[in-house]
Amino acid sequence: MKPSRHRIASPTLSVVALAVVVVVGVPLVPAGATDVKPRRVIRDHDPNFNTLWVDIVNNEILVGNDAQESLQVYSRMANGHVAPLREIKSPPATDTTSPHNTFVTFPGQVIIDPRPNVNEIWSVGNDIADLITVYRRTDDGNVSPIRRINGRLTTVGRFNRSWGLALDTVNEEVAVSHQKRNRISIFDRLTNTDANPAATPKRTISGNKTGLADPHGVFIVANADPTKTNEIYVVNSGETVGSSALPSITVYARTASGNASPIRTIQGDQTQLDHARPLFVDSGRHEIVVADGSPTDAILFFDQNANGNVAPVRTIRGHKTGLSNPTGVFVDAVNDEVLVANWGNHTITVYPRGAGGNIKPLRVISPTKSRVSAGIGNPGAIYVDPERDEIGVIN
């Protein structure tokens, strides 16, 4: 689940602090300690769709599932309660006897590169993984990546909670966002730290002029013709250490490097940006499309050249839409559809391209009939409220 921008009341903070003191006071490994089964477990048995990408060539949808830490593939034309076609997934963490080959952990942005000479799937592990993994497009099961970019090895542009991933197939580059470092790193597409642990990015964007503030989604529009659009788009949550700003979309020249100022910035109370994570640029309609998570639960469409405190040109929002904490968005320009991954109700919803308002989806794809989520995603702390007899989880 996305972290909330709302402050936690001071009584709750006191409870958290007390809980920490109690835990610290207990020996970490008592003498003769053994593994103890929990009395009960609260978790999602159904997949939480964190991001998605559409393979227009092979008519497939790739989603990142952070509940079971896997990558699932569905038919693009699937509708209703359906099972995935394939799933890249290691055994459960509790299975210590089997090899865990995939390295999929809390997947952020996922991408499919369906070019005949490439045929690859990309995923970036958020939170503590800081790892980009690449697989064959048709991989299934407990498979090893064909190459990796380990963000802990790169001395320049070292990762720190990397969520966004963008592939530039014109210039054979890949960009990754780093939340805590307020940085974008651009690598050669074939970078492989398993083969070359000393590999570094070709360039990075970072510094006080960039406007980067907890960057998440990143997208590259690249053209071989330099007279056409060549830009990098970034969604910023606005939360940085010691300060908090309004969420924004910042746009840079594709070749930007260092402490580069954005060409344009969309930011302000008119934008409706709140818990935005992913974005997609629909070059055909000249629009920036943003999935805005809970509590907004909306898809926002901006003019591609928008700048300043501007309102979206339209939105998809309302009780009919089926949107529930949307965390992934893709515009299928071939089939004129907008596809959305909903973290809150385990669904992929599909809408007509160019549509807006409180509309019903064309299709709803889900491997489960349940529309209830436990709401636990990337938990950072836990507290107990004895007065209300409740457990609280900070995600």
- What pTM was computed for the model? 0.85
Residues of the chain with pLDDT under 50: 1-27
Which residues are registered as beta bridge partners of 248? 236, 267
pLDDT tens track for 171-221: 999 999 998 889 999 999 999 999 999 899 999 999 999 999 999 999 999
Which one of 2.120.10.30, 3.40.50.2300, 2.60.40.420, 2.60.40.2480 gives the CATH number of domain 42-394? 2.120.10.30
Which residues are registered as beta bridge partners of 365? 80, 348
Positive or negative, the Cα torsion across 288, 321, 373, 364? negative
User: What is the model's pLDDT at position 130?
Assistant: 85
Write down the domain spans for the chain.
Answer: 42-394
- The answer to whether the beta carbons of residues 16 and 381 sit under 8 Å apart is yes
User: What is the model's pLDDT at position 393?
Assistant: 66
pLDDT tens track for 228-237: 999 999 999 9
Question: Under DSSP, is residue 125 helix (H, G, I), strand (E, B) or coil?
Answer: strand
Query: In this structure, what are the phi and psi dihedrals at residue 11, rounded to the nearest 5 degrees?
Result: -60, -40
Q: How far is CA 392 from CA 186, 194, 204, in A?
A: 38, 40, 38
Which distant-in-sequence residues (6+ apart) come within 8 Å of 64 by Cβ?
49, 50, 51, 52, 71, 107, 108, 109, 110, 123, 328, 341
User: What is the model's pLDDT at position 110?
Assistant: 96
Question: Under DSSP, is residue 329 helix (H, G, I), strand (E, B) or coil?
Answer: strand
Residues in the chain: 395
Query: In this structure, what are the phi and psi dihedrals at residue 251, rounded to the nearest 5 degrees?
Result: -125, 135
